[in-house]
Amino acid sequence: MSDRTIPKNASDVIYNIDAVYAYRPDLLAFDLYGDSALWWVFRARNPNVIDDPIFDFQAGVSIMIPKKDTLVNNLGL
């Protein structure tokens, strides 16, 4: 996991984790960003909600999700 932070952005989206992504942030990262290695973005953007990036990634939990443009601008993807 990266120690990089993901700053808040007005374009962030509130997302309730679906059962299909429970315990699988890598699958959500792939579906949203086309890269499963970006799973750590969810923890970095939601440190008050996700401490354990796998077991805290449960169905029904609400998290903030940055748009891909935000990651491109902040991480240089």
- H/E element, 26: helix 25-33
Whole-number pLDDT of residue 38:
93
Question: Which runs of E-coded beta strand occur in 1-77?
Answer: 13-16, 62-65
45-71 as b/e, with b when 16 or more CB fall inside 10 Å? bbeeebeebeebbeeeeebebbeeebb
Whole-number pLDDT of residue 1:
46
Residue 18 or residue 3, greater confidence: 18
Whole-number pLDDT of residue 42:
94
- CA-derived radius of gyration, the chain: 11
- Is the confidence at residue 3, as pLDDT, over 80? no
How do residues 5-55 score in pLDDT, each as one tens digit?
A: 788 888 999 999 999 999 999 999 999 999 999 999 999 999 999 999 999
Whole-number pLDDT of residue 75:
77
